[in-house]
Amino acid sequence: MLENCILLSLFAKENLGRMSEEQLNRYDRLINEPSNDWDIYYWATEAKPAPAEFEHDVLDMLREFAKNRNREQRLRQPDLEYLFEPP
């Protein structure tokens, strides 16, 4: 679904490079284990509570990111070139 693609790809661009291996594993589970993309969106936007196994620091980070406190324009996924830039 487009909403998750935009939210998760922008979150990944901003956060993956500074996450620990454990956080990366939790993020991987978060985006790959739920069978319904809407669940992830509802949890990230706090429209619905997440199951206990997904209540962790990475979901907290995603929730904070979803609030978009800086009112950034988030209309499209980032280009993937950032994946190939040296750290």
Q: How many domains does the chain have?
A: 1
**What confidence category does residue 3 fall into, taking pLDDT thresholds of 50, 70 and 90?**
confident
Rounded Cα–Cα distance for residues 10 and 76 (Å): 9
pLDDT at res. 19: 96
Residues spanned by the domain of 55: 2-83
Percent of the chain surpassing pLDDT 70: 91
pLDDT at res. 75: 72
Residues 6+ apart with CB under 8 A from 46: 63, 66
